[in-house]
Amino acid sequence: MSEIENVDCLIIGSGPAGYTAAIYAARADMKPIMYEGLQPGGQLTTTNEVENFPGYPNGITGPAMMIELKEQAQRFDTDVRPGFITKVDFSGAVHKCWSDDGKEIHAKTIIIATGASAKYLGLPSEQKYLELGGGVSACAVCDGFFYRGQETIIVGAGDSACEEAHYLSKLCTKVTMLVRRDEFRASKIMADRVKNTPNIEILFNTETEEVLGDGQGVTGARIKNNVTGEVKEIPATGFFVAIGHKPNTDIFKDYIKLDEVGYIQYEQPGTSKTNVPGVFVAGDAADKTYRQAITAAGTGCMAALDAERYLSALEH
Ligand code: NDP
């Protein structure tokens, strides 16, 4: 028998959405507990410099920002725990969750802030420079600025890739877009915008064989045309991957309404409510459009306020 713990507010996930929810929930005396999840600090811990989060005029590294958010949440007594939630049961009035440390948690309110994970190609050379922080990124809005005046590559052919290619084209001298098929997946308007941008070169039927580098940072890529078999090397200091994200929502799928890709659907747009009363969502687990730290933080605040109101209504 696992130990049962009754709580007012359980926050699942520890990115900007989770920590902002924790700060608000803790200050509202909801005594939140937080499970940090598989990637404590979330996606920002894989980012170098964050220059677009208001309040940091000189920028801050992603990991440092997450430490500050954690300290701020703990200052108001959020119980931040390592580990993750392995299973949930939202079928009854009490929301049940099980953690990897053997606890069964019964929560009156739950804030899901499990985020999403960017997909990567999975090439060893790509992973090497991603880990080094030396030129591989899955977020042009976050990291494009570091490549201004330089040449970059972007992989993908969906709306995200088009949007990010266009964003990069304003900063970089040249953007080479690698599309694995002979057509875009993106909407026509987005694809047309890319096609009509003079400093974006689109290479169709093209796949990446290897991300090239000098041991410190990216210097280009070896690419292959999958129709002609031609292999060539192209120069770039930034290698952007925009081949989609996977929301981390698998454990909720039997209870929470998800869209076809797995993003949590809001029950009531403009709020953080899911289809299960008392279960709220914040951040990238429900956001395939904006995906920014600041928007995640904003929805984290909304989720805590909605949870607080739900709790008050239960008690009165
Ligand atoms: P998508 O799933 O729409 O597109 C992913 C793209 O990556 C596809 O073109 C796919 O190629 C390509 N891809 C996948 N795996 C690989 C691989 N291993 N190698 C090379 N290419 C690969 O993801 P997005 O993130 O672009 O969009 C997600 C959702 O968000 C969509 O519904 C989109 O419309 C929406 N969105 C809307 C925006 C807007 O309206 N402003 C902005 C951004 C996103 P292939 O086509 O061959 O499968």
Both 229 and 254 in one domain: the answer is: no
Please state the pTM of the whole predicted model.
Answer: 0.80
Q: What's the confidence (pLDDT) of residue 257?
A: 98
The residue behind tokens 């042009």 is 140
Both 112 and 164 in one domain: the answer is: no
Q: Which of 8, 9, 97, 143 is catalytic?
A: 143
Both 43 and 94 in one domain: the answer is: yes
Task: Look at residue 205 and tell me whether its pLDDT is greater than 70.
Answer: yes
Distance from the alpha carbon of residue 310 to the mean position of ligand 1, in angstroms? 36
CATH number at residue 152: 3.50.50.60
Task: Look at residue 110 and tell me whether its pLDDT is greater than 90.
Answer: yes
At 131-180, the pLDDT tens digits run 998 899 998 988 999 999 999 999 999 998 999 999 999 999 999 999 99
CA dist 258 → 36, 87, 211 (Å): 22, 17, 35
Both 102 and 26 in one domain: the answer is: yes
Both 236 and 256 in one domain: the answer is: no
Task: Look at residue 47 and tell me whether its pLDDT is greater than 80.
Answer: no
Both 128 and 84 in one domain: the answer is: no
Q: What's the confidence (pLDDT) of residue 141?
A: 86
143 carries an active-site annotation = yes
Task: Look at residue 316 and tell me whether its pLDDT is greater than 90.
Answer: no
Largest CA distance in the chain: 71
Identify the domain containing residue 220 by its residue range.
120-241
Using CB atoms within 10 A of its CB, is residue 260 exposed (0-12), middle (13-18) or buried (19+)? exposed
Q: Which of 8, 9, 97, 142 is catalytic?
A: 142
254 carries an active-site annotation = no
In the DSSP assignment, the letter for residue 106 is E
Give the residue-averaged pLDDT of 252-279.
97
139 carries an active-site annotation = yes
Both 12 and 90 in one domain: the answer is: yes
SS (H, E, C) 50-102: ECCCCCCCCCEEHHHHHHHHHHHHHHCCCEEECCCEEEEECCCCCEEEEECCC
Give which of 277, 226, 258, 227 is closest to 110, Cα–Cα: 277
Cβ of residue 288 lying under 6 Å from some atom of ligand 1:
yes
Residue where one domain finishes, among candidates 218, 241, 264 = 241
Task: Look at residue 216 and tell me whether its pLDDT is greater than 80.
Answer: yes
Distance from the alpha carbon of residue 202 to the mean position of ligand 1, in angstroms? 15
Distance from the alpha carbon of residue 183 to the mean position of ligand 1, in angstroms? 12
User: Which of ligand 1's atoms lies nearest the C-alpha of 163?
Assistant: 42
Cβ of residue 287 lying under 6 Å from some atom of ligand 1:
no
Give which of 87, 72, 20, 65 is closest to 272, Cα–Cα: 20
What token pair was written down for 278? 């008392």
Confidence of residue 4 (pLDDT cuts 50, 70, 90): very high
Both 252 and 226 in one domain: the answer is: no
Give the residue-averaged pLDDT of 75-86.
96
> What is the C-alpha to C-alpha distance for residues 139 and 144, in angstroms, rounded to an integer?
8
Task: Look at residue 269 and tell me whether its pLDDT is greater than 60.
Answer: yes
DSSP letters, 172-194, are SSEEEEE-SSSS--S-HHHHHHH
Q: What's the confidence (pLDDT) of residue 128?
A: 96
Give the residue-averaged pLDDT of 36-43.
90
In the DSSP assignment, the letter for residue 264 is B
Range with lowest mean pLDDT among 45-54, 90-99, 302-311: 45-54
Domain count, the chain: 2
Q: What's the confidence (pLDDT) of residue 1?
A: 56
Residue where one domain finishes, among candidates 226, 241, 256 = 241
Cβ of residue 283 lying under 6 Å from some atom of ligand 1:
no
Q: Which helix (H) or strand (E) holds 22?
A: helix 16-27
Both 93 and 231 in one domain: the answer is: no
Q: Which helix (H) or strand (E) holds 75?
A: helix 62-75
Both 236 and 249 in one domain: the answer is: no
Give which of 290, 245, 239 is closest to 119, Cα–Cα: 245
Both 143 and 189 in one domain: the answer is: yes
Between 142 and 276, name the one with better pLDDT: 276
| Pairing, β 103-112 against β 95-99 | antiparallel
Q: In whole angstroms, what separates CA 94 from the centre of its chain?
A: 29
Cβ of residue 243 lying under 6 Å from some atom of ligand 1:
yes
Q: What's the confidence (pLDDT) of residue 142?
A: 85
Q: What's the confidence (pLDDT) of residue 13?
A: 97
Distance from the alpha carbon of residue 222 to the mean position of ligand 1, in angstroms? 22
CB atoms within 10 A of CB 1: 4
Task: Look at residue 2 and tell me whether its pLDDT is greater than 70.
Answer: no
Task: Look at residue 48 and tell me whether its pLDDT is greater than 70.
Answer: no
Q: Which residue puts its alpha carbon closest to atom 48 of ligand 1?
A: 185
Residue where one domain finishes, among candidates 223, 241, 259 = 241
Give which of 62, 73, 15, 21 is closest to 39, Cα–Cα: 15
Both 67 and 9 in one domain: the answer is: yes
Q: Which of 119, 121, 160 to mutate to test the pocket of ligand 1 (most atoms within 8 A of CB)?
A: 160
Distance from the alpha carbon of residue 290 to the mean position of ligand 1, in angstroms? 14
Cβ of residue 246 lying under 6 Å from some atom of ligand 1:
no
- Average pLDDT score over the chain: 95
Between 105 and 59, name the one with better pLDDT: 105
